[in-house]
Amino acid sequence: MKQDYYEILGLSKGATTAEIKKAYRKKAIEFHPDKNPGDTQAEENFKKAAEAYEVLSNEDKRAKYDRFGHQAFDGGFGGGGGGMNMDDIFSQFGDIFGGGGFGGGFSGFGGFGGGGQRRAKGSNLRIRVSLTLEEIANGTEKKIKVRRKVQAPGTTYKTCTTCNGSGQVTRITNTILGRMQTASPCTTCGGAGQMIDKKPADADEQGLTYQEETVSIKIPAGVEDGMQLKVTGKGNDAPGNGVAGDLLVAIEEKPHDSLQREGDNLHYDLYISFSEAALGASREIDTVTGKVRIKVEEGVQSGKILRLRGKGINNLNGYGKGDLLVHVNVWTPKTLNREQKEFFEKMATDENFQPAPEKSDKSFFEKVKDMFS
């Protein structure tokens, strides 16, 4: 079972932004690869801390995590850090240490801060996937064709002459406080440390060309409209020895003909006639797993809610399934023929047709309360 992000950083759920940043900095210093050379467990802890910080330091991601737990990011939802590598961590969170924040003795972020080569990352791609309510309820796998940039065959690179392959340019300036040294990404190679040597005619200035690829995307049950899935490494390639970007997949929920979703629960409006309400009936209704037949008891009142347990949506966080709430509506005919009118006129004063609610009959507000509980 995946470790809780708050537990990784040693925090409570009510931690402030400043406390999260401070806790991450402390963990990163403790488990930094330069401080623990060859220690695979320390490197793993370092990655865990970065993953936890990436989610908890972002308000939107933190809200999703607090609501759905790790399921919100399993498979990449919302851009969670599960697929981060050391390059991602160093490039994204290096500034949290404020330059010399580590104190003396560290060579920088895995060879980045001390003038080492910085691997460029390709750009992300974004697509939208429309899902039916049935697919959302049960989970699905989609195969999507993606047009992405890949390194063109025959492209070769050479060391950047500006930064000599380091990916950074160091500048020394004189100030009133003394000589100051600063490092910034090389503008010639974009921080990759390499430049195009040879490339085919159909490649762009970075040595990349378009290629169509079929990507398989596993979508867990219970996702919601607007959620985002990240498929690591399926974006555009980076030039040289860089890492590929990610494919970001936005989830779109298609409207259902007869079912309405509310969280993990589903709602269905069942319309029955006066006769069916008085005599009872057996009706077939839609669910996300197919049609089912339900029994409507005789004497049912309009507004009655029938609860079919476990016929709703699988919970994204693994907490069972929601219910299907069937709302019974007794349909009043708008026009009557002469014979029908005579019947209802005779029944107008009949004692059995007079409203006589029992104490056990719930009010509208009680029904609403039950529906949300």
pLDDT at residue number 245: 92
pLDDT at residue number 132: 95
Domains of the chain: which residue ranges?
A: 1-114, 259-372
Look up residue 8 and give its two tokens.
């990784």
Helix (H) or strand (E) holding 148: strand 140-151
pLDDT at residue number 116: 44
Strand partners, 217: 142
Query: DSSP label at 51?
Result: H
**pTM, rounded to two decimals:** 0.60
pLDDT at residue number 38: 75
Q: What CA–CA distance (Å, rounded) separates 260 from 312?
A: 10
Q: What CA–CA distance (Å, rounded) separates 317 from 68?
A: 5
Instruction: Give pLDDT < 70 ranges for the chain.
Output: 1, 34, 73-119, 175-178, 359-373
Per the annotation, does 186 bind a ligand? yes
Q: What is the mean pLDDT of the chain?
A: 82
Reported CATH class of domain 259-372: mainly beta
Buried b / exposed e across 240-254, counting CB within 10 Å, b at 16+? bebbbbbbbbebebe
- One-character DSSP codes across 184-225: EE-TTTTTSSEEEEE--TTS-TTSEEEEEEEEEEEE-TT--T
Q: What CA–CA distance (Å, rounded) separates 289 from 139?
A: 12
230-258 pLDDT, tens digit each: 999 999 998 877 889 999 999 999 999 99
pLDDT at residue number 25: 87
Q: What CA–CA distance (Å, rounded) separates 35 from 305?
A: 63
pLDDT at residue number 112: 40
Per the annotation, does 83 bind a ligand? no
pLDDT at residue number 371: 55
Strands 247-253 and 125-131: parallel
Per the annotation, does 175 bind a ligand? no
What is the dihedral sign for C-alpha 79, 186, 94, 241? Answer: positive
| Angstrom distances, CA of residue 104 to CA of 35, 41, 262 | 11, 23, 55
CB atoms within 10 A of CB 136: 25
Do the domains 259-372 and 1-114 match in fold? no
Query: DSSP label at 232?
Result: T
Cα–chain center distance at 259: 23
pLDDT at residue number 105: 35
Helix (H) or strand (E) holding 330: strand 324-330
Q: What CA–CA distance (Å, rounded) separates 125 from 247?
A: 5
Q: Specify the CATH architecture of the domain 1-114.
A: Orthogonal Bundle (1.10)
Sequence-ordered alpha helix ranges (H) in 211-363: 274-279, 338-347
Per the annotation, does 189 bind a ligand? yes
CB 319 within 8 A of CB 263: no
112-158 pLDDT, tens digit each: 444 444 567 889 999 999 999 999 998 999 999 999 999 999 899 88
Look up residue 65 and give its two tokens.
């995590």
CB 131 within 8 A of CB 252: yes
Look up residue 174 and give its two tokens.
């004189």
pLDDT at residue number 370: 60
Look up residue 230 and give its two tokens.
């990240």
Amino acid at 333: P
